[in-house]
Structure 1
């Protein structure tokens, strides 16, 4: 279960064998079945998750009671409500498993401990958070400059696995449209 994470961590960060064993010690394996709430809104996020397999979504509930999906992962990778996790603040977001999922998780306290003890872990963590910021900036730009069809085509191009594994209602919300609009776009593309 640790192979993907350790392979990712060893790509250019110089982890020693001792640091690798410490990572194994602090990252706890967990599994969640489909449609399980992993972290609830209204609480401080407890963990940073590394997704070994499966799909998660991050969503909030708007003033009308609608769930708005703001992030869907493509495994493998890290996942949480980042700013709330980093700052230990109450999150407005919920994390839910969209499919059966296998994860490795680490608490903020343990992550901070690892970072303070290991330059390689510090460098790796900075890189992960920079990637998250870059991803969010790109996503924000796409939502503001691309039309609905272009956003869907971009998602198909960048993350085709999401299209095959995540329900259309979550994909539509993630792309900033209604499921009916996405269905029309999909029919147009197929024809």
Structure 2
């Protein structure tokens, strides 16, 4: 729980009573590797905070190929925001890439926090803004670069992730085949 509040308090102030109230609305859940936090075609019903582990956001293109959009690691909130806020079916999957330990809020409890705690909405807005900025920063440099540069950038963006997740997911994220990624890694001399 300390990790969650260390994270939240970077975006605003809460008193002990507010912290206790927020704590009372959480549930600790473990997700096994490959299990889904939320699924395409379903409405996202929870907000999670990753205590330990890595999730990925992915979808299937019109050829039925699985595409990894991005990864979310420890000390980050995770939610399919559009689905959660608008109660519409999600277009993406959020899947555990490793075993994950998470602190989770149900939609009902999250909305209650927004209505009850003064300043909670401002904190949440700052967290979401930061997440959106990160998403853009992490994706945009990868679009126009060659595969080797994209991989080196990936190592920069996700330094703690590379040795913890399957190469197939990294290849999908970079938009290359797994054999191309293996060649790139070999040429770079990274393991």
Considering the TM-score relative to the shorter chain, is it more than 0.5? yes
Distance in 2 of aligned mates of 1:140 and 1:98? 19
Conserved? CA contact 1:56–1:73, under 8 Å: yes
1:173 and 2:168 are equivalent in the alignment: no
Equivalent in the alignment of 1:91 = 90
Distance in 2 of aligned mates of 1:48 and 1:12? 17
Distance in 1 of aligned mates of 2:123 and 2:111? 13
Structure 2: gaps spanning 5 or more residues: none
Distance in 2 of aligned mates of 1:9 and 1:134? 17
Q: Structure 1 stretches (4+) deviating beyond 3 angstroms?
A: none
- The number of aligned residues is 190
Distance in 1 of aligned mates of 2:57 and 2:11? 29
Note the 1:84-163 alignment, pairs <5 A: 84-163=83-162
Distance in 1 of aligned mates of 2:64 and 2:104? 30
1:37 and 2:45 are equivalent in the alignment: no
Structure 1 position 12, deviation (Å): 5.0
Partner of 2:160: helix, strand, or coil?
helix
Conserved? CA contact 1:58–1:81, under 8 Å: no
Partner of 2:133: helix, strand, or coil?
helix
Equivalent in the alignment of 1:25 = 24
Structure 1 position 16, deviation (Å): 0.7
Greater helix share, 1 or 2? 1
Conserved? CA contact 1:59–1:69, under 8 Å: yes
Structure 1 position 115, deviation (Å): 1.6
Conserved? CA contact 2:11–2:126, under 8 Å: no
Distance in 2 of aligned mates of 1:176 and 1:113? 40
TM-score by length of 1: 0.92
Partner of 2:162: helix, strand, or coil?
helix
Conserved? CA contact 1:30–1:102, under 8 Å: yes
Structure 1 vs Structure 2 CA RMSD: 1.6
Structure 1 position 166, deviation (Å): 0.8
